[in-house]
């Protein structure tokens, strides 16, 4: 995969929902809601504001929280990704 987001955009891949509970109960597909948590796969260079480059605050490998209906979904090499602006991300987990 070779994709480089432009500007202040971030390529993320949503993490999969757990299919079993901590006690070992297997959840059926319809009972598992996808979490709004993703891993950062690639980042753009940042955006230009007042003639200065504002660098990205997230980096490849960060886990982030994102809103449910933001970004553009794409399928690449058989995997699903989302391209979203960094300003639309809600939080970095454990960073």
pLDDT exceeds cutoff 60 at 30: no
The answer to whether residue 89 sits within a structural domain is yes
Supply the pTM of this predicted model.
0.78
Q: What total of structural domains would you count in the chain?
A: 1
pLDDT value of residue 28: 61
The answer to whether residue 75 sits within a structural domain is yes
Q: How many helices (H) and strands (E) does the chain have?
A: 0, 8
Cβ-contact 71, 83 below 8 angstroms: yes
The answer to whether residue 4 sits within a structural domain is no
Q: Domain of 54?
A: 9-15+27-93
Mean pLDDT of the chain: 86
Query: pLDDT-based confidence at 23, cuts 50/70/90?
Result: confident
pLDDT exceeds cutoff 60 at 33: no
The answer to whether residue 74 sits within a structural domain is yes
pLDDT value of residue 93: 92
Q: Can you tell me which residue has the tokens 């753009």?
A: 44
The answer to whether residue 3 sits within a structural domain is no
pLDDT exceeds cutoff 80 at 22: no
CA trace torsion 59, 63, 7, 57 (10° rounding): -50
Give the DSSP H or E segment for 46: none
pLDDT value of residue 56: 93
The answer to whether residue 44 sits within a structural domain is yes
- Output the domain CATH number for residue 37: 2.30.33.40
The answer to whether residue 72 sits within a structural domain is yes
The answer to whether residue 78 sits within a structural domain is yes
13 forms bridges with which residues in the sheet? 39
Q: d(Cα 70, Cα 66) in Å, to the nearest integer?
A: 8
CA-closest candidate to residue 35, choices 22, 19, 17, 10: 17
């Amino acid at each position: 995969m070779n994709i480089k987001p432009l500007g202040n955009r971030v390529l993320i891949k949503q993490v999969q929902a757990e299919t079993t509970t901590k006690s070992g109960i297997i959840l059926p597909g319809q009972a598992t809601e996808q979490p709004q948590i993703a891993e950062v796969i690639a980042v753009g260079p940042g955006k230009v504001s007042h003639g200065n480059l504002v660098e990205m605050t997230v980096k490849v490998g960060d886990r982030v929280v994102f809103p449910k209906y933001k970004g553009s979904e794409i399928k690449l090499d058989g995997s699903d990704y989302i391209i979203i602006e960094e300003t639309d991300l809600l939080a970095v987990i454990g960073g």
